[in-house]
Amino acid sequence: MTSYEQSSDEDLMLAFQKGDERAFSILVERYQVRIFNYIYRYTYDAERSEEIAQEVFIRVFRSRDRYQVSAKFATFIYRIALNLAFNEVRNRKRRRTDTVDEFYTLADREMESPHELVDRSEVESAIWREINQLPEKYYDVVLLCDVEELSYKEAGEVLGISVGTVQSRLSRGRQRLREKLGYLMKDQGETKK
Amino acid sequence: MTPETHDKLSALLDQELDSTTRDQVTTELAGNPESKQVLAELQFIKSTIRGLPRVAPSTGFATRLMARIDDLDSESRPRWTNIFTLPRLAFGGVMSAVAAAAVVLVLVFTGVLDSTPSGAVVASGNSDGLAAEPIVRDKQPTIMLSENVDVSNLRFTRIDFHNGEVIRVDSNRRKNVRELDGDAYADVLEDVINDYAVWLTQNGVTTEAELKAKLQEMVAHFDLASYVRDSKDDVAHTTP
- A62 pLDDT band (50/70/90 cuts)? confident
Query: Cβ separation of B53 and A105 shorter than 8 Å?
Result: yes
- A69 pLDDT band (50/70/90 cuts)? confident
Give me the interface pTM, i.e. the ipTM. 0.81
As a whole number, mean pLDDT of residues A154-179 equals: 94
As a whole number, mean pLDDT of residues A26-37 equals: 94
Q: How far apart are the C-alpha atoms of A16 and B129, rounded to whole Å? A: 44
Q: Which secondary structure element, helix H or strand E, spans residue B157, and what is its range?
A: strand B154-162
**Which amino acid is it at B167?**
I
The larger pLDDT score, comparing residue A133 to residue B152, is at A133
Query: Cβ separation of A62 and B57 shorter than 8 Å?
Result: no
What is the structure's pLDDT at B118? 30
A97–chain B Cβ distance below 8 A for any pair: no
The residue in chain B having the minimum alpha-carbon distance to the alpha carbon of residue A55 is B65
What is the structure's pLDDT at B141? 30
- Do residues B83 and B240 make contact, with C-beta atoms less than 8 angstroms apart? yes
- A32 pLDDT band (50/70/90 cuts)? very high
B16–chain A Cβ distance below 8 A for any pair: yes
Q: How far apart are the C-alpha atoms of A65 and B70, rounded to whole Å? A: 18
Interface test with A, best of B34, B52, B74 (most A CBs within 10 A): B52
Asked if residue A111 has pLDDT above 60, the reply is no
Percent of chain A with pLDDT over 90: 54
- A37 pLDDT band (50/70/90 cuts)? very high
DSSP state of B55: P
The backbone torsions φ and ψ at residue A106, rounded to the nearest 5 degrees and listed phi first, read -105, 5
What is the structure's pLDDT at B10? 95
Interface test with A, best of B54, B63, B227 (most A CBs within 10 A): B54
pLDDT in tens, B29-78: 888 999 999 999 999 899 989 988 888 998 889 989 988 887 776 554 33
Residue B192's nearest CA partner among B121, B79, B103, B93 is B103
Distance, C-alpha A93 to centroid of its chain:
21
The mean predicted confidence, pLDDT, of chain A is: 82
Query: Cβ separation of A178 and B42 shorter than 8 Å?
Result: yes
Q: How far apart are the C-alpha atoms of B85 and B91, rounded to whole Å? A: 16
Q: What is the mean pLDDT of each run of 10 residues along chain B (240 residues)?
A: 91 94 91 91 91 88 87 50 29 31 34 27 32 28 32 37 42 33 36 45 56 53 40 32
Query: Cβ separation of B49 and A108 shorter than 8 Å?
Result: no
Q: Which secondary structure element, helix H or strand E, spans residue A116, and what is its range?
A: helix A114-132
Query: Cβ separation of A28 and B65 shorter than 8 Å?
Result: yes
Q: Which residues pair with B156 in a beta bridge?
A: B107, B173
B68–chain A Cβ distance below 8 A for any pair: yes
The larger pLDDT score, comparing residue B51 to residue A38, is at A38
Q: Which residues pair with B158 in a beta bridge?
A: B105, B170
Q: How far apart are the C-alpha atoms of B30 and A151, rounded to whole Å? A: 26
The 3-state DSSP composition of chain A as helix, strand, coil percent (nearest 5) reads 75, 0, 25
DSSP state of A144: I
Residues in chain B closer than 8 A to A33 (CB atoms): 54-57
Cα of A10 to nearest chain B Cα, Å: 18
A53–chain B Cβ distance below 8 A for any pair: yes
The residue in chain B having the minimum alpha-carbon distance to the alpha carbon of residue A106 is B53
CA atoms in the 13 A half-sphere facing the CB of A104: 13
What is the structure's pLDDT at B66? 87
* Packed helices B33-50 and B3-13: angle between N→C axes, nearest 10 degrees: 50
